Amino acid sequence: MTTAAVIVAAGRGSRAGGATPKQWRRLAGRMVAEHTLAAFRASPLIGPIVLVVHPDDREIAAPLAAEDVMLAEGGATRADSVRAGLEALAPAAPRHVLIHDVARPLASAALIARVCAALEAGATAAAPGLALSDALWRGSGGEVAGVVPREGLFRAQTPQGFDYRAILAAHRAHPGGAADDVEVARAAGLAVAIVEGEAQNLKITTPGDFARAELHLRGRMDIRVGNGFDVHRFTEGDHVTLCGVRVPHGRALQGHSDADVGMHALTDAIYGALAEGDIGRHFPPSEPRWKGAASRIFLEHAVALAEAHGYGLANADVTLICEEPKIGPHAGEMAATLARIAGVEAGRISVKATTSERLGFAGRKEGIAAMATATLVRP
Ligand code: MG
C-alpha cells in the first residue's frame, strides 16, 4: 500500500460548544473521530493511518488504535500536529499521504479516491476545492458595500494529498503559521492540483453543524429487518435448551444440534436480514460435525457475518410458543444469555412466550415453536 493518511485530531474545538473537544463528541451513535476514521479505513486505497491527538486525549483515543491505526501526539499548533503525524509515518515510508481534518467526518470514498487518483496521475499535491456558487458580498456597517467577483474562487477542503517526502520536507522547512497543508506545500514551491470537492464534506465547527452532519449520516443509515421461525418436536429426555438456558423438563427437544429452537429462530432472523439464507445453508445438517453442537456457534456466526457486512444488531424479539415448560421464570436469563452471545447490551434482546390455547401441535405438547425478529443497522 503506497498511500497513508494523517488525521489531525489534536484541536480543542471550543467553537462547537460543550466541554469535550468536538472530535470526541457523539454524532449519530459514535464519536466524530470514529466516523472520520471509518471513512478512511473503508477505502481500499488507504494503508496505514495516523490519528494525531492532544496529549490530554490519549485515554479517550486509545480504543481507536488498531493494526492499521496508529496514535501520535500532537503539538501546540495544527502544523506541529501534522508534522508529528508525518514523522510517525517515516518507518512506513509511504509514497503518498492524505492529510485530513478530523472534523470532516462525511468525506466520501469517492472524494478520497479522486485525491488519490490525482496523485497517481503524477501530481505532487492535490486538494479538493468547491467552486463558489453563491454571490459574494463585502459588507460594511450591516449593509452591502460591494460585490466580490467569485470567478476563480474555491472553498478549500480536506483530505489534501501529497507526495510524502515532498510534504514532510516542506513541513520541516516551514516557519509556521500556515492555514493548511496546501499553504505549506506552496511555500515549498509545490504545485497543487485542484480536484472537485463535495458539498456534504462539511467541517463541524458550530453546534448547528452537528445537526447537519447527523442528518447526512442518518440519511445514509441502512436498516434491515429479518424474521425467523423454527419448530422442534419433543422426544425422550430430562431437559430442554431454550435461548441458551438449560430448563429441566420431563422431555427433551429432538434435533441435529442441541435443538435450541429459540436460538435457531433468532439466528435465522439475522441471516434473513442479511439475505444470507438460513442455518441449514451455513451449517448443513448432513455434516456430522454439527451433531449435538451448542447452538451458540450458529448465533455467533450470524452476528459475525452481520459485522463483516458492517451491520450491528440493534434489537431482537424472540417468542417461544409452547404449553410447557413454563418460560416466564427463565425469560430474563434467556434474554441476557442471547445478549451476551450476540455481544449486545442487555435490553436490546427480548424473550417472551405464549401458549397456543391447546390448539395445534404446540397445544398438543408435541413440540415447541419459536419466532424471532431482528433489526440490523449499518451506520
Ligand atoms: Mg432448528
Q: Which CATH superfamily is domain 222-378 in?
A: 2-C-methyl-D-erythritol 2,4-cyclodiphosphate synthase (3.30.1330.50)
Ligand 1 centroid to 231 CA: how many Å?
A: 6
Is residue 220 over pLDDT 80? no
Q: What confidence category does residue 17 fall into, taking pLDDT thresholds of 50, 70 and 90?
A: low
Ligand 1 centroid to 261 CA: how many Å?
A: 5
Ligand 1 centroid to 230 CA: how many Å?
A: 5
Q: Taking all residues of the chain, what is their mean pLDDT, rounded to a whole number?
A: 93
Domain boundaries, the chain: 3-218, 222-378
Ligand 1 centroid to 268 CA: how many Å?
A: 9
Strand bridging mode 251-253 / 222-236: antiparallel
3-218: what fold? Spore Coat Polysaccharide Biosynthesis Protein SpsA; Chain A (3.90.550)
Ligand 1 centroid to 315 CA: how many Å?
A: 21
pLDDT digits (tens, 9 = 90+) for 240-271: 999 999 999 999 999 988 999 999 999 999 99
Q: What is the pTM of this model?
A: 0.65
Q: What is the pLDDT of residue 291?
A: 81
Ligand 1 centroid to 267 CA: how many Å?
A: 10
Ligand 1 centroid to 370 CA: how many Å?
A: 9
Distances (CA, A) of 357 to 113, 360, 365: 60, 9, 11
Beta bridge partners of 352: 319
Burial 191-208 (b: 16+ CB within 10 A, else e): ebbbbebeeebbbbeeee
Percent of the chain at pLDDT > 70 equals 98
Ligand 1 centroid to 369 CA: how many Å?
A: 9
Range name among 18-32, 185-199, 357-371 with the lowest pLDDT average: 18-32
Ligand 1 centroid to 312 CA: how many Å?
A: 23
> Using CA atoms, how far apart are residues 20 and 236, in angstroms rounded to an integer?
61
Is residue 88 over pLDDT 60? yes
Ligand 1 centroid to 232 CA: how many Å?
A: 6
CA-closest candidate to residue 48, choices 109, 82, 89 = 89
Is residue 379 over pLDDT 80? no
Q: What confidence category does residue 309 fall into, taking pLDDT thresholds of 50, 70 and 90?
A: confident
In this predicted model, which residue has the larger pLDDT, 78 or 308? 78
Q: What's the whole-number mean pLDDT along residues 295-301? A: 96
Ligand 1 centroid to 273 CA: how many Å?
A: 18
